[in-house]
Amino acid sequence: MIAPRRFLPSTGALMAFEAVARLGSATAAAQELSLTQSGVSRQLRSLEDQIGAKLVQREGRALVLTPVGREYARSVREILHRLAAASVAARTNPDGGALNLAILPAFGMHWLAPRLQDFARTHPEVTVNLSTRLAPFDFRASRFDAAIHFGREDWSGADHMALMPETVVPVCAPDLLHHATTAQIAAQPLLHLETRPKGWARWMAAQGWTGDLPPGMQFDQFSTMAQAAIHGMGVALLPTFVAQPYLDSGQLALASAQTSESIGTYYLVWPSERATQAPLRSFRAWLTAQTGNGPHQ
């Protein structure tokens, strides 16, 4: 929620204050703003009354900023510049702007990033800004327009668009195993991801394995688990889009050719109130073309 109205001075008052702070004179500020000197003075008094602080004081014929006024002037100047820039952008590029997207590291690096050049080519009017977030958050308290989410359609207060299920394959160092049996894989250390604690149990069950599973190291990200597998520390279950570059380079090999779908799906999620923003609409349409899926309310 934006601050209460009593803390939001008018643009006119802020512009009058910024001009006086920069020029040191109500007369000069009035000339720049095409106002009267008394009009500028009234705006200053109104601003000081509204925020409850003395911003300027007279020294001879000059108006000098108080310590509070100097700090406030810096903030006001930045805000006015940003407001002007946003207004120009809205006028010159009504269908574009920035899309602030929260991503999961592995999905962002291995699936989204290689495809973003196509989005940039087809939508040059949109700038996509990426930041990593590992868990759901409150959109109302963030700057994000949308996020990549893994699991189920359970992000509170958000609309969901399914992108793809997570299909996983077992991989390891080439000299460890290659197209092994399930029993041979079960005899090796198994590498686990913290957010997929039942991943190996589900994969083994899909192969008909009913025996016990050996303990193994746990990781918080696929990238570090992949590095552990490359260095021969065990067998890792990786999503196909994460595993493929390592398989292509020969750093990893398939421990088994069998695959299985994981326990969740990747989604694009966004707050309902931002659904009509032009950059987000363009990004959703592009993702629909990439995945063949559409949004769910």
- Say yes or no to pLDDT of 289 above 90: yes
Strands (E) across 120-259 are located at 126-132, 146-151, 158-172, 190-193, 218-219, 235-239, 253-254
Within its chain, how far is the Cα of 205 from the centroid? 36
Contact 1, 59 (CB under 8 A): no
Give the whole-angstrom CA distance, residue 135 versus residue 100.
16
pLDDT at res. 264: 85
Contact 262, 202 (CB under 8 A): yes
86 pLDDT tier (thresholds 50, 70, 90)? confident
For the chain, give the percent of residues with pLDDT over 70.
94
Q: What is the pLDDT of residues 63-79, one digit of tens each?
A: 899 999 999 999 999 89
Give the whole-angstrom CA distance, residue 171 versus residue 26.
73
Strands (E) across 8-54 are located at none
Contact 22, 72 (CB under 8 A): no
Give the whole-angstrom CA distance, residue 168 versus residue 199.
9
Q: What is the pLDDT of residues 102-129, one digit of tens each?
A: 999 999 999 999 999 999 999 998 989 9
pLDDT at res. 263: 75
- Say yes or no to pLDDT of 93 above 90: no
Give the whole-angstrom CA distance, residue 65 versus residue 57.
6
pLDDT at res. 198: 87
Mean pLDDT of the chain: 89
Neighbouring-strand partners of residue 99:
128
What tokens does 125 get? 């009017």
- Look-up: residue for tokens 């198994």? 190
